[in-house]
Amino acid sequence: MKTIIADADDVSIMAASKIIKSGGLVAFPTETVYGLGANAFDPIAAKKIYSAKGRPSDNPLIVHIANKKDLYSVVKNINAEIKNLIKNFWPGPLTIICKKKTCIPNETSGGLDTVAVRFPANPIAQKLILYAGVPIAAPSANISGKPSCTRAKHVIKDLNGKIDMILCDDKFSFGIESTIVDMTQKSPVILRPGAITFEMLKKILPNVIMNKNLIIDDEHPKAPGMKYKHYSPEADVFIVFSDEKNMDIRERKIVDKINKMVSNNQEKKIKSGVLAFNQTKEFYKNCFVLSMGDKNNLFEIANNLFDCLREFDLNQVEVIYAESVDEKELGSAIMNRLLKSAAYKKIKA
């Protein structure tokens, strides 16, 4: 298949909307990561998403809408808590799981009686949905199991030749996928942390809880997507941490530990990579070092994370040692993605 690759100007967005209407697949930017979109009401189009991504078909898709009232067309039982969420966080990087209406086919909802819905803040995504005139079902636009795409070049690498069109625009506000909150349980449950943080949600939903599978990995995962290996580059990733309270000593311990492992690898002719910060990148020797950004700027780190993971692959790195951030606010979402890419392997410095 020939994939049209175009800058996301108005003419291309209009062309893309026609492709969606006629049952095709379009990758488009959102404020989180690129999505791979199809008409959410069209079961055959939804099926095409699974085959383009190589994604198991029991893994449901997020339905994207372009105004708040459209939520009422696709889900039922919208209570005061859900209304409050929408009022505070939409449009934005928050996906809400509700009981679905029958207009959402099983192919879109992965056979569940619930559906995940999001109103993205990105104006290109909004225009695409409005021009298409239908909600757009879209998972992240990456090959299943690979890091999500935050640059057009990532989408082209994964999906060129497999989909109808790629709308390119790399101005991302967040760079990691939306927060997912399940509103169909007794208490609201965060299934995936994101830029709408636990702390922010807690102010609106005092009884919200974090799905404990985010922390303990070997139980049955609640979001079906969590049972598959995710966000992984080809290389073997390890998170290197230290319990040391003093920040300077902690940093030194981590750097020393990583440098030791790198030199061991060098003797064995294994190519090492280090995922570091602007403040620490200079300290590493004899390896391929990438900085996620300023250690104190969690937004910059989130924005660069997936690009760095993919960059290691392009440089044939075999083992990656990643520094960590504190697991609070946006840091929880960053560590969630890093730990998944490492299959939860940690090394204590």
Q: Which stretch binds Mg ion (CB under 5 A): 79-87, 121-129, 132-140, 216-224?
A: 132-140
Contacts of 199 (CB under 8 A, 6+ apart): 328, 329
SS3 315: coil
341 lies in the site for Mg ion, by CB under 5 A: no
95 lies in the site for Mg ion, by CB under 5 A: no
Residue 214 interacts, among Mg ion, ligand TXA, none and using kind-specific CB cut-offs from 5 to 8 Å, with none
Q: Which stretch binds Mg ion (CB under 5 A): 61-69, 108-116, 136-144, 256-264?
A: 136-144
126 lies in the site for ligand TXA, by CB under 6 A: no
> What residues from 171 to 210 belong to the interface with ligand TXA (CB under 6 A)?
177-178, 180, 191
95 lies in the site for ligand TXA, by CB under 6 A: yes
How many amino acids of this chain bind Mg ion (CB under 5 A)? 1
Residue 135 interacts, among ligand TXA, Mg ion, none and using kind-specific CB cut-offs from 5 to 8 Å, with none
CB-nearer residue toward ligand TXA: 114 or 279 = 114
Contacts of 160 (CB under 8 A, 6+ apart): 3, 5, 166
CB-nearer residue toward ligand TXA: 92 or 273 = 92
How many amino acids of this chain bind ligand TXA (CB under 6 A)? 27
Of the candidate residues 13, 17, 24, 35, the single one contacting ligand TXA (CB under 6 A): 35
* Of 305, 290, 218, 330, residue with least CA distance to 33: 305
Backbone angles phi, psi at 319, to 5 degrees: -130, 130
CA separation for the pair 223, 218 (Å, rounded): 13
Of the candidate residues 17, 39, 59, 232, the single one contacting ligand TXA (CB under 6 A): 59
Residue 82 interacts, among ligand TXA, Mg ion, none and using kind-specific CB cut-offs from 5 to 8 Å, with none
CB-nearer residue toward ligand TXA: 129 or 276 = 129
Asked whether the CA dihedral 112, 218, 54, 15 is positive or negative, the reply is positive
Integer angstrom CA distances of residue 29 from 59, 83, 192, 237: 21, 26, 20, 27
Integer angstrom CA distances of residue 164 from 17, 33, 54: 11, 19, 16
* Of 43, 87, 38, 33, residue with least CA distance to 63: 38
Integer angstrom CA distances of residue 234 from 122, 172, 298, 320: 30, 24, 25, 10
**Taking the complex as a whole, how short is the minimal distance between the CB of residue 197 and ligand TXA, in angstroms?**
14
CA separation for the pair 114, 46 (Å, rounded): 16
92 lies in the site for ligand TXA, by CB under 6 A: no
Residue 112 interacts, among Mg ion, ligand TXA, none and using kind-specific CB cut-offs from 5 to 8 Å, with ligand TXA
Residue 180 interacts, among Mg ion, ligand TXA, none and using kind-specific CB cut-offs from 5 to 8 Å, with ligand TXA
**Taking the complex as a whole, how short is the minimal distance between the CB of residue 173 and ligand TXA, in angstroms?**
11
CA separation for the pair 82, 184 (Å, rounded): 10
Find out whether 302 and 330 touch, Cβ atoms under 8 Å: yes
The residues binding Mg ion (CB under 5 A) are: 140
The residues binding ligand TXA (CB under 6 A) are: 30, 32-33, 35, 59-62, 95, 97, 109, 112, 114-116, 118, 138-140, 177-178, 180, 191, 223-226
